[in-house]
Chains A and B, each alone.
Chain A
């Protein structure tokens, strides 16, 4: 049954200033399940060859650094680079490095992402940290973390970049983005918004499709956590956050943040966490779309 004509898509997945939550979230993918993603032809006659992914790969140390560099050099312009985490720019690798140079000096994460990003077919910034800086870049940004887009801009790297924010991102956002590249090639400019997010997943506000929206329109606000009602007065960031969690739901459709009474904290937002903090306070003075007039 082996299909030797399978087209291989090498993927190098770098974990930078990260908590590994994006990897764990992608492991939670339901359709396709993660075994299909790793082992099978996830799209007929096309196989994702995950060359380097530190959470799952069998090898360790030099062995895997060589495998990564081998793909980088031999498949120039032909591999997809996934970056999970923000990029520390403080120091010369003391705050995060991947492998060593020929003199035994650690290679800083920023140099790796720049060099391997430059030669990639496309780069996926997975999660809010890689997309926008996220938690490690929050004030006072102790290790001067930047997003992939910021790094690329400062180093004039022009490789196509797709941002998939979310802390963590929904597994569907990642596997569907990979599938779309396998099926139709790189996304067109019109597929992405001004923050380089696929409009398919980030085109609407949480608030637009929130199951508690009717409470909002009727101005029935929860007075304390665990109450029914709209969570806006308690700090819900659904009205300012672009993502499709309300319709997609999480973990095989079992639940999601607002449904669980935990509210939206804006984790997929460009300004997470600083622009949406304090998280448990009503969002100050934002212009909300489609606010219903109070029914008299």
Chain B
């Protein structure tokens, strides 16, 4: 029996610690712990509600756009603007979110995940005229290899030529993700932390030069996604095909969907979205999303036990940093008491099962390529493949949206801040289902709650002792070399953990919000 502790888990967002008890070469038990706490929601209380969208973006600098979108949907609903965002505003919001997701997915595969599969040091043997590879070779020969070494050693399976190609793509992808951030900034003002998505729409107006500038960057990105990103995921999957059978997890999926396709429906659970809302069971049955089925449990988190099992609408969070049996700042969100995974896999499968023909036309051949049944999607490689396909789907959709923009027409609907109101914002961020809830009193924030993707996926055990999705995905995994536990970090990173997001929460002591209602 041996305990493997990985602290910090790097190439993720935020502070995560993972412990695995390995017995007879297999993970017997795993624990995922969020180890950083800031308390963004307490900071929000008493502030002007409009400031929520600026401040909640700072929960996470990797996915600020997702928070900005959720927060503004939440404020829209609190301000009674849900069904009256001008089309230009709705479309520009979609383009900002879409550009950010393209950037995020490329960043994740190449810069956060790929170094678990690609051996940069194999470039030392390169002979040829590729400028990137020659500069990396120089770097290796100089001998100071930070930040690429130290690392786990051993299980790098790609032939040197493929490795070298992937190193070139790693470098290309740095430029491509930057270009996606630039594309985002065209309508978002800047990245990270956009300045243009506001309650009522956006502040940036569409002009023909901005549309063209976005489109030309998008064309380059689509070429990269189609010819490089997806091809590299498939190449990696070929060499590491056992990872279709590693890291399955809880096999329950949940998606809020994203990208509103029309602007008239105020109810966030009924919107027509590009990626669909819903739940998926282990036997691939699609379920209707019921927001009231969501609760957060805290038996194993550093919060007062009296606050457990509440809906986010009337949630309460009282930190207790010395609680016995607790091991994380992350709470355990559950859906009907069950463990659910969120993320690109969830929204892809939800949309597939909703019968979207374009998604079906992408997923079926991808599975056929590996002679695989849909069940293999519940895996490390399944998550990477789903993320790449989500990236392609959104990138392919954006040119059409750009052409729907109408220069000269409004982007923004003015409003009054209500004395008292409640609101809810639901959207799938790059990493999965993201919900914001607000209560306004005296035109100020009385309470603000976020339930974020990292909370779902990296959650600790719940009150019944059920481990979270990541913990389940790790349990039972065979570890070939406990000194270089590749399996563990590959499983962790397949979820694209975002821990600063997961641990942002605190509401004041003793506060009850049982009167909190969402329209």
Contacts and interface: CB of A to CB of B under 8 A. Distances in A.
Q: Do A and B bind each other?
A: yes
Interface of A: 1-4, 6, 8, 10, 15, 17-25, 27-28, 30, 33-35, 38-40, 47, 49-67, 88, 91, 94-100, 106, 134-136, 138-143, 145, 167-168, 224-226, 250-252, 254-257, 259-263, 265, 267, 273, 277-281
Contacts of B181: 24, 28, 251
Contacts of B150: 58-59, 63-64, 66-67
Interface string B179-193: 001101111111111
B55 A260 contact: no
A174 B186 CA distance: 22
Contacts of A10: 144, 146
Interface of B: 5-11, 13-15, 35-40, 42-43, 47-48, 50-51, 54-55, 58-62, 64, 107, 111-112, 115, 120, 132, 134-139, 141-144, 146-152, 171, 174-175, 177-178, 181-182, 184-196, 198, 200-205, 213, 302, 321-322, 410-412, 414, 489, 500, 506
Q: Count chain A CB atoms within 10 A of each CB in B134, B489, B500 and give the residue with the most.
A: B500
27 contacts: A18-B500, A19-B58, A19-B60, A20-B60, A20-B62, A27-B177, A40-B138, A49-B146, A56-B111, A57-B10, A59-B10, A59-B152, A60-B8, A60-B152, A61-B7, A62-B7, A63-B152, A64-B8, A67-B146, A94-B302, A94-B321, A168-B192, A224-B414, A225-B198, A251-B182, A259-B189, A267-B193
Nearest to B88: A226
A47 B144 contact: yes
Given A18-B61, A58-B150, A135-B40, 17 more contacts: A4-B142, A17-B36, A18-B500, A19-B64, A21-B62, A28-B178, A57-B11, A60-B6, A63-B152, A138-B55, A143-B39, A251-B190, A254-B186, A254-B213, A255-B204, A261-B189, A280-B50
Contact of A58 (B39, B148, B203): B148
A34 B132 CA distance: 13
Contacts of A22: 61
B39 to A, nearest CB: 3
B6, B35, B120, B190: which has the most chain A beta carbons within 10 Å?
Answer: B190
Given A2-B138, A139-B43, A260-B189, A273 B55 contact: yes
Contact of B35 (A30, A67, A97): A97
Given A142-B42, A254-B213, A21 B51 contact: no
Contacts of A88: 37-38
A38 B120 CA distance: 13
Contacts of B205: 226, 261
Contact of B202 (A226, A257, A273): A226
A167 B7 contact: no
Which of B6, B120, B182: most chain A CB closer than 10 A?
A: B182
B51 A278 contact: yes
The 9 closest A-B pairs by CB, nearest first: A21-B61, A262-B195, A142-B39, A260-B189, A261-B203, A2-B141, A278-B48, A251-B185, A58-B151
A58 B115 contact: yes
A98 B62 CA distance: 21
Contact of A55 (B11, B120, B148): B11
A168 B182 contact: no
A261 B204 contact: yes
Nearest to B8: A54
B226 to A, nearest CB: 23
A219 B79 CA distance: 30
A56 B107 CA distance: 10
A3 B135 CA distance: 11
A265 B184 CA distance: 19
B193 A61 contact: no
Given A3-B138, A168-B192, A281-B48, A142 B148 contact: no
A52 B150 CA distance: 10
A57 B203 CA distance: 37
Contact of B54 (A40, A50, A63, A279): A279
A28 B38 contact: no
A25 B36 contact: no
A54 B500 CA distance: 13
A27 B174 contact: yes
A260 B195 contact: yes
A256 B61 contact: no
Contacts of B61: 18-25, 168
A109 to B, nearest CB: 8
A143 B182 contact: no
A60 B149 contact: no
Contact of B500 (A20, A58, A99, A263): A20
Contacts of B58: 19, 21, 134-135, 167
A287 B51 CA distance: 24
B202 to A, nearest CB: 7
Nearest to A256: B190
Contacts of B54: 265, 273, 279
Nearest to B493: A60
Given A262-B195, A265-B54, A8 B144 contact: yes
A49 B64 CA distance: 29
A61 B5 contact: yes
Contacts of B42: 140, 142
A4 B293 CA distance: 62
Contacts of B40: 135-136
A38 B37 CA distance: 30
Contacts of B144: 8, 10, 47, 49
B145 to A, nearest CB: 8
Contacts of B11: 54-58, 60
A262 B196 contact: yes
Given A96-B36, A254-B185, A273-B51, A64 B10 contact: yes
B120 to A, nearest CB: 8
A35 B174 contact: yes
Given A226-B203, A262-B194, A278-B47, A256 B321 contact: no
Nearest to A128: B58
B465 to A, nearest CB: 24
A278 B52 CA distance: 10
A209 to B, nearest CB: 16
Contact of B149 (A2, A58, A106, A138): A58
B177 A17 contact: no
A52 B143 CA distance: 16
A95 B37 contact: yes
Nearest to B112: A55
